[in-house]
């Protein structure tokens, strides 16, 4: 069983926790950022983390694990490998999630939706809507890190989070870092040297 202490140690050793001025995928701004890819770039660590997600959902007998691209791809693939089931990922098309590349879901599928990190839960909600529109059953949502500090829920669906952070996030219009003219970084496409400082 993966403890929170061991998981946090992985975060620290991988330099995954950062400080600066970041625009999150939700559109909110924060002075802190958790870059899960820094942890998941090491296959051994990804295996340990996703084995724990798989353990939490194994009794539900899923047939598919799906995550939103890009952040959920590795988590979905490794969790599915641990469960010996299919791994899919959904992609944004005109602000909505869609299955592409020949991926399909049907009424017999029992699906776990996974993310690397959740802030507002919007991406996971859109994937849930997509899965249900295909007629498949959603067994629950799993994430490595809940960045909402426990505020996000998925009514009617089980929510498994391995770790929870409570970093404050702001609407751009209310962001104190914007007021202070601190350079804004978009972590998903940050240029070299603009990834933010390590969180000490």
Give the tens place of pLDDT for each residue, 33-57.
878 899 999 999 999 999 999 999 9
Structure tokens at 86: 């299919």
Angle subtended by helix axes 71-83 and 43-57, to nearest 10: 60
Within 13 Å of residue 75, how many CA atoms lie on the same side as its CB? Answer: 29
Range of the domain at 111: 4-198
Give pLDDT tens digits for 124-182. Answer: 999 999 999 999 999 999 999 998 878 899 999 999 999 887 778 899 999 999 999 99
Count structural domains, the chain. Answer: 1
Using pLDDT thresholds of 50, 70 and 90, give the confidence band for residue 188: low
CA distances from 187 to 60, 167, 196 (A): 34, 16, 9
Of 181, 186, 194, whose CA–CA distance to 29 is shortest?
A: 186
Question: Rounded distance, CA 157 to CA 154, Å?
Answer: 5
CATH number at residue 183: 3.40.50.2020
Residue with tokens 């751009």, as numbered in its chain = 172
Rounded to whole angstroms, the Cα distance separating 179 from 90 reads 36
Q: 0.85 exceeded by the pTM?
A: no
Query: CA 137, CA 134: separation in Å to the nearest integer?
Result: 9
CA 86 to CA 68: how far, in whole Å?
15
- The side-by-side arrangement of strands in the sheet containing 64-68 is 96-98, 86-93, 64-68, 110-118, 137-146, 158-164
Average the pLDDT over 6-30 and give the result.
85
CB–CB of 1/48 below 8 Å?
A: no
Q: Is residue 192 predicted with pLDDT exceeding 50?
A: no
Q: Quick one: pLDDT at residue 190? A: 41
Residues 6+ apart with CB under 8 A from 115: 67, 68, 71, 72, 75, 123, 124, 141, 142, 143, 144
């Amino acid at each position: 069983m993966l403890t929170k202490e061991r998981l946090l140690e992985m975060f620290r050793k991988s330099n995954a926790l950062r400080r600066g001025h970041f625009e999150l995928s939700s559109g909110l701004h924060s002075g802190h950022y958790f870059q899960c890819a820094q942890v998941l770039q090491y296959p051994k660590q990804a295996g340990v983390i996703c084995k724990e997600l798989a353990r939490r959902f194994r009794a539900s007998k899923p047939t598919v694990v799906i995550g939103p691209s890009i952040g959920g791809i590795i988590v979905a693939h490794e969790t599915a490998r641990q469960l010996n089931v299919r791994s899919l990922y959904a992609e944004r098309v005109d602000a909505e999630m869609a299955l592409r590349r020949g991926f399909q879901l049907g009424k017999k599928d029992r699906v776990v939706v996974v993310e690397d990190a959740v802030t507002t839960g919007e991406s996971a909600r859109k994937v849930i809507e997509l899965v249900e529109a295909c007629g498949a059953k959603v067994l629950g949502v799993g994430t490595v890190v809940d960045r909402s500090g426990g505020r996000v829920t998925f009514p009617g669906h089980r929510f498994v989070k391995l770790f929870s952070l409570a970093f404050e996030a702001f609407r751009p219009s209310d962001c104190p870092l914007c007021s202070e003219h601190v350079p804004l970084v978009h972590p998903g496409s940050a240029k070299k040297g603009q990834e933010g400082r390590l969180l000490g």
